[in-house]
């Protein structure tokens, strides 16, 4: 049953975290940064795929593969993904195939608060050490 929650391994065709911003769903300015900040800080333990959260959607909510992949590219992880990895529900490389489809960490902009740092530049410095 929990496997279905993690069944999306690639971002959907209009995921807001795609490299191709023309294909991605519109988010207000700064929303991507807010989402990633909340995910990386643990404020939100999971970010669901937008296609699985509406009332008219059939089936359970699922983890957004785009957000999960970008979090990994930024050197972090969603809390729910960490738990699933530790419990053996998914492998550590579960979202690695999505990396080439989602934006790079530098594209998300500054203002990310993760691991007690104030900017994305500091996050990137931490990851390169």
- pLDDT-derived band at 55 (thresholds 50, 70, 90) equals low
Least confidently predicted of 4-13, 20-29, 52-61, 108-117: 108-117
CA–CA distances in Å: residue 13 to residues 40, 64, 93: 24, 12, 21
Domain boundaries, the chain: 2-128
Asked if residues 62 and 6 have their Cβ atoms less than 8 Å apart, the reply is: yes
Tokens of 51: 């296609």
Statement: the pTM of the whole predicted model exceeds 0.85: no
Which residues are CB-contacts of 1 (< 8 A; sequence separation ≥ 6)?
A: none
pLDDT tens by residue, 8-52: 999 999 998 898 878 888 888 888 888 888 888 777 888 899 888
pLDDT of residue 95: 93
Per-chain mean pLDDT for the chain: 79
pLDDT of residue 124: 46
- pLDDT-derived band at 57 (thresholds 50, 70, 90) equals low
């Amino acid at each position: 049953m929990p496997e279905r929650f993690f069944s999306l391994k690639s971002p959907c065709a209009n995921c807001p975290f795609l490299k191709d911003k023309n294909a991605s769903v519109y988010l207000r300015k700064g929303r991507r940064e807010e989402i990633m900040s909340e995910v990386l800080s643990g404020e939100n333990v999971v970010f669901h795929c937008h296609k699985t959260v509406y009332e008219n959607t059939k089936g359970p909510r699922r983890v957004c593969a785009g957000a999960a992949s970008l979090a990994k590219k930024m050197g972090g992880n969603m809390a729910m993904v960490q738990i699933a990895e530790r419990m053996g529900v998914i492998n550590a490389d579960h979202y690695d195939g999505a990396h080439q489809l989602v934006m790079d960490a530098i594209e998300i902009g500054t203002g990310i608060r993760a691991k007690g740092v104030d900017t994305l530049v500091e996050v990137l410095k931490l990851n390169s050490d």
